[in-house]
Structure 1
Amino acid sequence: MQSQLSSISQSVSQKTSAVSGSGMDRKVTKKSQAYKWPLIGAVGVILFAWLAYQSFNASSGRALTVNSERIVISTVSSGIFEDFIPLRGRVTPAKTLFLDAIEGGRVERILVEDGTNLKAGDLIVELSNASLQLNVLGNEARVAEQLNNMRSIELNLEQNRLQHKRNLVDINYQISMLTRQVEREATLVKNESISQSQYADTQDTLNWYKSRLKLTLESQASDAKMQEAQLAFLRETSSRLEHNLEISRQNLDNMNVRAPVAGKLSGFNVEIGQSIGRGERLGQIDTPDDYKLTALIDEFYLGRVDIGQQVQYDQYRLEVSKIYPQVQNGQFEVDLAFIGEQPRNIRRGQTIQTKLTLGDESKALLIPNGAFYQDTGGSWVFVVTADGSQAIKRPVRLGRRNSQFIEIIEGLEQGERVITSPYTSYQDMQQLNLAH
């Protein structure tokens, strides 16, 4: 048994020594390190190029690569700058008179249609208003009564004046008779043909009439002064009442709407039986074959547009006749009046293209007008380099502009090329790399 165990132990130890022995080991050789140096050199070159690129961007600002086929490049040129702006004007009547119902009522009769050429005084529509008719009749009765009262007062004053005149005539007659009688009785008293008392009575009567004449004259003068003032007041009151009566009758006559001037009726749309309110618009009358233009101008030109500036439409001339200073949606409105002959083939509501002259023609450096101006306000542009590979941001000073060109004041030279398409996508860039 022991011999078997020893043989087994010997065999296990032999196997263990076979596994962990030198027969399982092998020599490991180091790989070559020659390939590391080119790799390190390539990484260094890339790192240097990246640092140089970052250093260039830090000194020249942000850059962006742009396809040159998607932008517009224009050349700075020298030429004559025409200081004008194009205007699209709408044809409107030169003068328009609105028809409003002075008094409301019901439409009884329509005598014309919309678009009819009218003469001054032509009847357009008849209205009826029973309440107004009754009011007018009542006003006429009251005014007539007051006028009659005024006439009665005037008659009484006139009779009083005539009565004063009659009294004066009687008094003067009595004074004349008594004066002759006193003279005769003075002779008779000397002859003792009459008594002294009779002569004294006649003389007292004469003196009484003379005193009465003075009082009557004073009364007449006072009454005449008062009557003159009262008659002036009565005449003024009567005139005012008659004017009020005329207005009442005119209100009734206004129920018949007539054309105040000659022209073409437009905007007239009423029906028989329709109720029209006081002051309601019935239509308008436009002057025939006499037109003006109304146009909207960008608020940028508000300070440069003035009354009397010239406007050209084909061979016809116009001028700015009125400026509406209210700005709505970035625009203000102007009226343009024809000078002399007007085109015969224009119609109301038609739009025509005109040219508003803002200043005289002058020689200047020019750049085509483009959408870039809206993004920069004319303070800077992208200038293309001579080789066409880049466009550099440059501050400039731009002046007047029209629909075709912009005047260059400083910052650009003749022959230089500028990007004139929109800058919306690269307003913050300092440089554009142009890819072909």
Structure 2
Amino acid sequence: MTQTPDSIPAPLPVPVLHTIAREHHPISRKAISPGALRVLYRLREAGHGAFLVGGAVRDLLIGLQPKDFDIATDATPDEVRALFRNSRLIGRRFRLAHVVFGREIVEVATFRSNADDGSGDRETHEGGRLLRDNVYGTIEEDAIRRDFTANALYYAIEDFSVRDYTGGFEDVQNRVLKLIGDPEQRYREDPVRMLRAVRLAAKLDFSIDPATAAPIAVLAPLLREAAPARLFEECLKLFLSGRGEASFLGLEAHGLLPILFPESADALARNRSGVLREFILEGLRNTDARVAADEPVSPAFLFALLLWPAYCHALIGLQAAGTHAAEAQRRAADRVTLHQLGTVALPRRFSLPMQEIWLLQTRLPLRQRKRVMRTLAHPRFRAAFDFLVLRDAASGSHSEDVEFWREAQRDPDHAIAAHPPAVEGEGEGDAGEPRKRRRRRRRPASADAG
């Protein structure tokens, strides 16, 4: 690609090595996985430089236990593959080696360079986005081409020191997330970095450096160029890491929510009562609690939560146009799902259960015995009931239904006898909450009327 003067990338900062000796940092080999230690030592024995790098170093510095241990080395992927029979090479955009120890996978990446003398494999999109980057370099070059300073820290196994080329050690101490280099250029290289900034700030309870945060709202539309499947994975990381509420607030604050969930963001803006937003926040708080308790959270339930405002808004429009209630519900669910797929590739194995959770909400006010028994037997009933509990927590308008179904799960006949049947709701309130319409009692027919 020919570059005009305006499109010439800003130079990355000059790396300056700052070595933090073992006695000045808290990282211990006891906190590093045995598999990662084996890879580090074998690479060193073969004459290669090898360092624990990135999120593992950052997390260990602030007292968190990393889930993954990544290693950076001057060995090429093929050299790593030759050293470890239990390894495989993966990736086209970034060529990596995965070394497998039972259920643990240690990712090994070769130092990469930002410069390209033509000997490597790099492809850049016209907008500056990196499509492929397999140009190898030195540890100094590798450090300055990483995204955030907090992720550009290297733990050296030979002397147990931490090597810092970008000021990341101080930023971690100050709990600040800062991009390396020109923020606009780095976001254009990979727009998903904007989501990573929000996610890491939420996960680590870091603030985002003002210069790093400033371009996000302007460049947010670049995320539309990202692969929908990749954005789906990023959404799972954002909301299923145990910091979903903080991630949602970060997306709102930096103008990213309308890009990821355009119809829900529009519905939230129109919802004057704020009940829909409180519903999402309540649901994410509940999700965070489940993650903290090591309980499972289904992506279907998560997306049912995040797209509920869009579904409610679509349903209001269809019913206002005269569409019959049951048909409006099905069409609204299909419409929201289809439109969302253009941004985030929600797999069918999650989108169908998501729709079932929504559609079951209209069954929950109904208490005729046959309907109650069918609803209890539905495979999505428990998720739909949990969804109803969240709706009640946000609006306080479903306590009677929650009480009924809680009792019905123990003793359906007693619950039906204790609570009179309600009629299926039609219409939507300002917050998208179904309104119950009660049937008028018919007057007894007179003799003259036959």
Normalising by the residue count of structure 2, what TM-score does the alignment of the two structures yield? 0.19
* Larger CA Rg, structure 1 vs 2: 1
Compare the two structures and name the one with the higher helix fraction: 2
Higher relative contact order (CA 8 A, sep 6+): 1
Compare the two structures and name the one with the higher strand fraction: 1
